[in-house]
Amino acid sequence: MTPFGAKLRELRKKRGITLSEMAEALGVSAAYLSALEHGKRGRPTWYTVQRIIAFFNVIWDEAEELQRLAEISDPKVSIDTAGLQPEATELANLLAAKISGLSRDSLAHLLHQLRVAAARDRI
């Protein structure tokens, strides 16, 4: 599941809306919405995110959060480390090889560490 998919499911469940009801209102298939929630589809388009924001009638911070989550929810990431330090290539390959076996706590810890490092290096 992607961050966007988790938020989409949370909003839908909180409001008691079925996949079919939401799909009909948005003019997409229930299968597409299910795949989006489960991270089986790529990042949604800006247009799709805007339609979802309008559907749930969310404003300001929550709308910005949905857009931000959509931007970081590509389930098939490709990392180009050409021209970077050897450690960057090692990190990318190690993460690709090990990510499926990491616990939720380990993922949260690594994510926190990366955010701290990015802030420190101002990436």
pLDDT, tens only, 36-80 = 999 998 889 999 999 999 999 998 999 999 999 999 999 888 999
Q: Is 28 exposed, middle or buried (0-12, 13-18, 19+ CB in 10 A)?
A: middle
Q: Answer yes or no: are the C-beta atoms of 70 and 44 closer than 8 Å.
A: yes
Q: Answer yes or no: are the C-beta atoms of 66 and 58 closer than 8 Å.
A: yes
Paired tokens of 19: 């996949």
Buried b (16+ CB within 10 A) or exposed e, 93-118: eeeeeeeeeeeeeeeeeeeeeeeeee
Radius of gyration, alpha carbons of the chain? 17
State pTM to two decimals: 0.78
Q: Report the C-alpha gap between 86 and 65 in whole angstroms.
A: 34
Q: Answer yes or no: are the C-beta atoms of 75 and 40 closer than 8 Å.
A: yes
In eight-state DSSP terms, residue 100 is G
Q: Report the C-alpha gap between 34 and 85 in whole angstroms.
A: 39
pLDDT score, position 62: 92
pLDDT at residue 87 is higher than 70:
yes
